[in-house]
Amino acid sequence: MGQLLDRVTAKASALQIPIQAHLDVTWKCNERCVHCYLDHGIGGDMTTDEIRTLFDQLAAAGTFFLVISGGEIMLRKDIFDIVAHARSLLLDVRLKTNGLLIRKPEAERFGRLGVRTVDISIYSWRHEVHDAVTLIPGSLARSLAAVRYLRDEGMEVEMRTTIMRDSAADYPGIQALAKELGVVARFDPTMNPRLDGDRKPFDYRVSNETLKEIYRDPRLAEEAYCAPPSPVDADVLDGHSCEAGHGGVYITPQGDVTPCVQFPMVCGNIRRNTFAEIWNGPQFRRLRDVRVRNLPVCSTCANSPVCSRCPGLAYSETGDFRAPSSIDCEKSFARTGIPSALMQIRSAASSRAQENGAGFAGLGASSPLVQIAGIQ
């Protein structure tokens, strides 16, 4: 089944069909997670009717997989109406929630609506650690209760864990808990900058040494250790970095359309244009025209065949989605042990600056090394 879905998704991407869509219905939340990248004070959420119209347009464009997320989805009083309309269009619905407001009646309603999968954020199996992340006492107990209610209604439940500095050793306990509950545990060490560019969430990242250990642990190996990587060939250079803007799309609560939740390049707003007009518009077309061989730095990198390069993180860091992302460079280095092209450029720039006795400032803002590496 997985291979079939992979082929369908690849075909949709090739045909530029937005088979996967992700909608945040609100950025309001009843938790205050220390690493969260959202601004919970931003309002202006789309109305129920606006969301229904959006779903109609997505379905007409070929969307099949729909993620409904937040913020916290259960803070929308119309969440069941929203899900019901998506299911009436035969969209495959995946929910993302912290579960604090889901009890048996809510789980039963989602089950009757035909929700297939629910992701619940779990940061540790230890109550004191999880609750220190969410800043809500008792939150782990309530989230785990929701896991049980949703599981009992026949939904696939995944416990989603961001591996952080203070809980990096907790994943075996989370896996044991998931096994006990009969659900899936998934882990991700990636941190995202806040919407306003603030890098405060990076304070909670694991160390590079811990990152190396994570990629060498087969229990976590969604992106496994792989040294040396495969050669950089024509297939790699002719490929895309990811499916964002090709077969996938993200919509904010306010109707802004971007390639991905991690890619804040606004391509239009469904309150002003139809989804089809935005999806077929100039910004998405410009994104789709870019191949790995068009990336000035990444096309020269030995890690390109295995790098999980995110153009959205590059865009957040540099304002240019064709630039390398230092976050992904660190991840590829942890996986392969080979410094990325960006790391080598920065190392060379540092050595040259030290020889000149002037630091990076001595290179000047017009230096190609400074511009490419994003040093200044």
What is the pLDDT at residue 373? 47
Stated as kind and residue range, the H or E segment containing 350 is helix 341-356
Task: Choose between 365 and 296: higher pLDDT.
Answer: 296
First to last CA, the chain: 47
Q: What is the pTM of this model?
A: 0.88
pLDDT tens for 183-205 read 999 998 888 888 777 888 889 99
Summarised one tens digit per residue, pLDDT across range 66-118 is 999 999 999 999 999 999 999 999 999 999 999 999 999 999 999 999 999 99
In the predicted structure, residue 366 carries a pLDDT above the cut 80: no
pLDDT at 295: 93
Q: How confident is the model at residue 368 (pLDDT cuts 50, 70, 90)?
A: very low
| Per-residue model confidence as pLDDT tens digits over 247-256 | 999 999 999 9
pLDDT of 329 above 50: yes
For position 111, what pLDDT does the model report?
Answer: 98
Average pLDDT over residues 150-166: 95
**Percentage of residues of the chain with pLDDT beyond 70:** 92
| CA-to-CA separations, 242 to 59, 149, 194, 248, 321, in angstroms, rounded | 22, 35, 21, 9, 12
Residues 6+ apart with CB under 8 A from 197: 316
When the pLDDT of each residue in the chain is averaged and rounded to a whole number, the result is 89
At 366, the amino acid letter reads S
What is the CA angle 322-327-329, rounded to 5? 75
